[in-house]
Every structure is written in structure tokens, then in C-alpha cells.
Structure 1
């Protein structure tokens, strides 16, 4: 009896040692990635909130602790709220135009039509181009004299439009470019999700006499809801931290017509050398993105919970 107990104890001890070795191995593999994540993600976030509490010109300049004064100034800054409003317009365009367009493109690529391989290339091409190249390309496209956009407009008897120089059209012009550039990204997400839908479901729907629209709303769309949620999160976060295409095409102008939080933060930090205030703007961008993602995740969790109950 004692021999059996000692044997069982030895087996348990050996199992614990194996678990410890496995845990150490996993930790060693995770450690490099965790180190990189901490240095390039976590530390900058913490540092941003820290710098937002100081009056600081950047570089080796002296930092003066001012507490929450930068946040008080920020909440009264009309330029910031105007820039945030433009970010909200970008969010709306991304969620309600860009994502549906990506879904439509994915559906087209799943249709039995000729030239599908060519469409794959044409659809995906804008996402492969660099943002600088896209910005310069569309600056030419919007040229008020020789730009193709105005040539098309003139065919319909409309006077040429100063797309990027007019406060009424500048934001819309940039939003069109962003939708054109990033719709292929969401197309890829939807296409990958649609590949995972079993063909048996569509075959069963055809036997029941369902048409294409009915199959989409009964099978395809419900299966794509998790991808739609993920796409919405990416679109919202991407819209809040947008910078490059706006800075290249308009620099936030004319006036503040296309000023967004990213360009305003850049100007405060690297043009006006108000790094403390720029850090406050960056901190607010993080807070808004975090809250937005949290709200979406809560709604998604409740939806899944309701689905599980049903």
C-alpha cells in the first residue's frame, strides 16, 4: 500500500514538474513579444498621459507640472471640437459607407461572373498603394484646372470645383479618397469570413426555394456579424487616429475644414512646440478609442448572450 502511494505521489510530482517546464517554456516564448509590446505600446501610452500633465516644449526643454490644466484648456478649445467633429464624420463614412462597400465587393467576388481574377486585382490595388502616392494622385485628380474630376463634372454642364480649396467640399473630397483606399481591406475580411460558411447551408436553402436575397439575409449576413463587429472596431479606431492622408492632401485646411484630431495634435507638438498639450490631445484620442471599443464589445457580448439564451 505504501509503495502504491509513493508511486502515485511520484507521478503527481512528475506531472507538476512537466507543467512547470511547460509554463516556463511558454513564458520564454512570450517574453520577447511582451517586451516589444511593453516598450513600443504600453510605455508610450503611459508616457503620453504623464506628459499631458506638464507644460513642455519638447526635446530637452524644461517641463513644468501643471496638473489637469491642459485638459481644462482642451475642453474649451473650439478647434479641437471642430477637429473631433471631422473625425466623427470620418467614422460615419467608414462604418456606413466603407464597410458596406467592402461587403458588396466581397459579394461580387463570390458571384459566378467572368473576369473574377481581374476584379480581385482591381479591387485590391488601392490598398496596396502607399498613402503618400495616393495623396499625390488624388491631389492631381482634384486639380481645379486639369484634374479629371472637374473634366467629368464639366461633361454634365457644372462649373469646375476647387475640391480641396473649398471649405464646403474639402472634407468630402478627402473622405472619398479614404473610402476608395480602405474599402478593399474590409473586402478581404468579409471574403475570408464568407469562405468559412458551409456550402450545405446554401444548398439546403435552394432546396427550400430561397432566392439570392433570402439566402443573404438568412445565411450570409448572420454569419458575417462577428466580422462586421470587428470591422466596425477597426474603422472607429482607425478614424480616430487618422492623420497621413489628411496631412498630405490638405494639411487640415482650408481653414479648419479638414482639421482632424491627428493633424491638430501634430501641429501643436511639432509646429507650435507645445508637446504637453499635444500629449493631452493624444491621451484624449486614446480615451475616446478605448471607450468606443468598450461600448461595441459590451453590445456584442449582450447580443451573443441573448443568442445563447434563445
Structure 2
């Protein structure tokens, strides 16, 4: 009997080693890519932040934590961080609720509303650079859509400057971001609705619940993990926005739309202060990671479906 147990145990260990070996073999390429394109650049960024360097010359001057001391006192960096927090808050409060409402509408309508899935998702398929140029011309002070509508209603020539004045510029950027990214969360919630067992809706209808009551009392609680993941994705994405805002305002007017990513880009590739720019990038990495971890700690739902 003991020999049989020993044989069974040896077979289990052999199977475990075989499984571990197969897992290591298939994970190795992904882990290698992660190490090369994610872990190494992060480590190198922190390393470069300890130097005074223009990013071109071969000589780098080691200055220790001087860049970090300057970054802590850098009012423009913290102003950019504040703008990121504003964008983050509005992204979560606008994109996710609207995306959920659109998904609820499409889920209730069934297949006959599939055409709206295609139409509403189109903005998310467009390049951020293309959207930036599209809205830059559409919102132009002279001849833009808003200015043309204002002229039409007032009867006299009216110029509405949405991108050239603060705080209008930042709010306009937030609206454009919402137009582009809300469809992504719409699809995300549609997938969430698809994972809810139809029998739950049928049981709610039998019990006399209306569609609204079903959504409030059954669907939304079951979609709690979807909300958490969507909020986390929106949070991280809004803290590292770059391409759309750079092509629309480049952080202007008067740093009114400056974000951490645009500020870091200016330092590194316009002012050629690669050491301090890397410090700003490293600071950005620390802040994003801290906020994401704090968010996950606070907003934790138990259970899943």
C-alpha cells in the first residue's frame, strides 16, 4: 500500500513538474517582452533621473537627487497633476455612466438596435490624432461649428473661443475625450450584461419587476466588478493622456491644459532636459501607481458572477 502511495505521489510530482515546465515555456516570450519593453524602461527612467543630460551627448553628469528635489518644488508639475486629477474625475463621472446607460438601452432593445452599436462605437475606432485635428477645426474661433451656430442664433457675427481661453479649454478637451472613449465603456458594459443569466431577468419579470427595477436591483449589483474595472481603466488612462491633448492645445493656453505627460514631453524633447524629464516621468509613474492602488483598496467589491 505504501508503495502504491509513493508511486501515486511520484506521478503527481512528475505531472506538476511537466505542467510547470509547459507553463514556463509558453510564458517565457511574454515575460521577455514585458522585461524588455516595460520593466527595463521603467528602471532606466529612474536611473536617468539621477543625471543632468540633454539626451544627445555621450557625457552625463551625475547629480543624485537634485532633479527630484526640483520636481517636488515644481509648481507647473503639480499644476499638471491637478489637471490630470480633474480629467480623471470627469472621465469617471461622464464616460462610465453614459457608457452604462447606452449599454442598458442596447441590451433592452436586443438585436433590432445592433445598428446603434456600430454607429456609437465609431468614435472609438478613430485615431486620437485624427480626432484632435477634427475638433480643432470644428471648434475654431472663426468658422467653427460653435461659432457658426452662435452667429446663426444671435443674427450677428459671434466668435466663441473654446480652446483659447481658460478654463474653457480644459473642459472642451474633457468633452472631446468623453466623445471618443465613452463607446469603449459601452461595449464593456454590453459584455457585462451578456454574462448575466437571462433567467434572472425572467424571474424578476415574473415577480412583477419593471425593466428599471431589474436594472437597479439586479443588473447594477451584478455589474459591480465591471464598474470597478472600468473605473480603474479610466483612472489610469486619464492620468497618462497625451496624444489628443497635445495635438489640440499642446498644453496651452498658458498651461491651462498642461498634463503630466505633455509637461514631461516638453522637458525631454523640446527643452532637451532629459534628466529632469525622466524625473517627471518617474514621478508620473509613482503617482499613477499610488492612485491606482489606493483606488483598488477603497473600491473593493466582494464576489463576482
The equivalent residue for 2:92 is 95
Paired with 1:113 and 1:225, the residues of 2 have a C-alpha distance of 22
The equivalent residue for 1:30 is 27
> What root-mean-square deviation, in Å, do the aligned CA atoms of Structure 1 and Structure 2 show?
1.9
Paired with 1:237 and 1:253, the residues of 2 have a C-alpha distance of 23
The equivalent residue for 1:201 is 200
Paired with 1:16 and 1:115, the residues of 2 have a C-alpha distance of 55
Paired with 2:124 and 2:116, the residues of 1 have a C-alpha distance of 14
User: What TM-score do the two structures reach when normalised by structure 1?
Assistant: 0.91
Residue 69 of structure 1, aligned match among 66, 75, 78: 66
Deviation at 1:210, TM superposition (A): 1.8
The equivalent residue for 1:51 is 48
Deviation at 1:208, TM superposition (A): 2.1
User: What TM-score do the two structures reach when normalised by structure 2?
Assistant: 0.93
For the pair 1:304 / 2:302, whether they are aligned, the reply is: yes
Residue 82 of structure 1, aligned match among 79, 82, 94: 79
Residue 15 of structure 2, aligned match among 14, 18, 29: 18
Asked if the contact 1:252–1:259 (Cα under 8 Å) also holds between the matched residues in 2, the reply is yes
Deviation at 1:125, TM superposition (A): 0.1
The equivalent residue for 1:192 is 191
Deviation at 1:71, TM superposition (A): 1.6
The equivalent residue for 2:107 is 110
Greater Cα offset, 51-60 or 258-267? 51-60
Asked if the contact 1:163–1:173 (Cα under 8 Å) also holds between the matched residues in 2, the reply is yes
Asked if the contact 1:229–1:296 (Cα under 8 Å) also holds between the matched residues in 2, the reply is no
Deviation at 1:38, TM superposition (A): 0.6
Paired with 1:67 and 1:234, the residues of 2 have a C-alpha distance of 34
Deviation at 1:154, TM superposition (A): 3.1
Paired with 2:105 and 2:246, the residues of 1 have a C-alpha distance of 33
Q: How many pairs are equivalent?
A: 302
Asked if the contact 1:166–1:254 (Cα under 8 Å) also holds between the matched residues in 2, the reply is yes
Paired with 2:89 and 2:151, the residues of 1 have a C-alpha distance of 29
Deviation at 1:271, TM superposition (A): 0.6
Deviation at 1:237, TM superposition (A): 0.7
Q: Which runs of 5+ in 1 are unaligned?
A: none
Asked if the contact 1:247–1:263 (Cα under 8 Å) also holds between the matched residues in 2, the reply is yes
Paired with 2:26 and 2:112, the residues of 1 have a C-alpha distance of 45
In structure 2, relative to structure 1, the CA distance for the partners of 1:154 and 1:209 (3 Å cut) is farther
In structure 2, relative to structure 1, the CA distance for the partners of 1:13 and 1:80 (3 Å cut) is same
